[in-house]
């Protein structure tokens, strides 16, 4: 995994495993901006790091750093050979965006957001 993959995966795991550390306002913001994310992994990872910086998100940042540490220790990054699970290589050419990273974050936010549950229940008669 690349460092960007690790960052994205850590953020996704926080959303999935610890959604209660994210405030209602932060969920609303995540839902709003997730559709505008770049497809570039580096830009997504940078967005995540910047989004976590305000003091009001210190709990999320702490959970994110714990997940990142777990992921990084179980999937060390080899800067010379960037292979995936089982030694597989990415089908995406180097320096090209992976459309799945953006979609993965969008879908995770939608699936785990308490706001999505409210919106879905309001839409049903």
Q: Return averaged pLDDT per consecutive 10 residues of the chain, 125 residues in all.
A: 87 94 94 87 93 96 94 65 48 55 83 67 47
Whether residue 66 contacts residue 18, with contact meaning beta carbons closer than 8 Å, is answered with no
Overall pTM surpassing 0.85 (yes/no): no
Q: What angle do CA 42, 47, 51 make, to 5 degrees?
A: 155
3-state secondary structure of 48: helix
DSSP-assigned letter for residue 80? S
Write down the pLDDT at residue 97: 53
CA distance 107 to 104: 5
Write down the pLDDT at residue 53: 96
Count of CB atoms situated within 10 Å of the CB of 44: 24
Phi, psi of 114 (to 5 degrees): -65, -25
Whether residue 48 contacts residue 8, with contact meaning beta carbons closer than 8 Å, is answered with yes
CA distance 67 to 31: 21
Write down the pLDDT at residue 123: 45
Write down the pLDDT at residue 16: 94
């Amino acid at each position: 995994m690349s460092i960007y993959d690790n960052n994205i995966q850590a953020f996704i795991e926080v959303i999935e495993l610890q959604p209660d550390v994210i405030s209602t306002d932060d969920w609303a913001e995540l839902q709003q901006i997730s559709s505008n994310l770049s497809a570039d992994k580096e830009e997504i990872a940078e967005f995540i790091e910047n989004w976590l910086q305000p003091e009001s998100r210190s709990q999320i940042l702490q959970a994110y750093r714990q997940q990142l540490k777990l992921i990084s220790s179980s999937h060390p990054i080899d800067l010379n050979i960037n292979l995936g699970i089982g030694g597989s290589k990415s089908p995406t050419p180097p320096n090209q965006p992976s459309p799945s990273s953006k979609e993965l974050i969008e879908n995770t936010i939608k699936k785990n957001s308490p706001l999505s549950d409210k919106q879905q229940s309001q839409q049903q008669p």
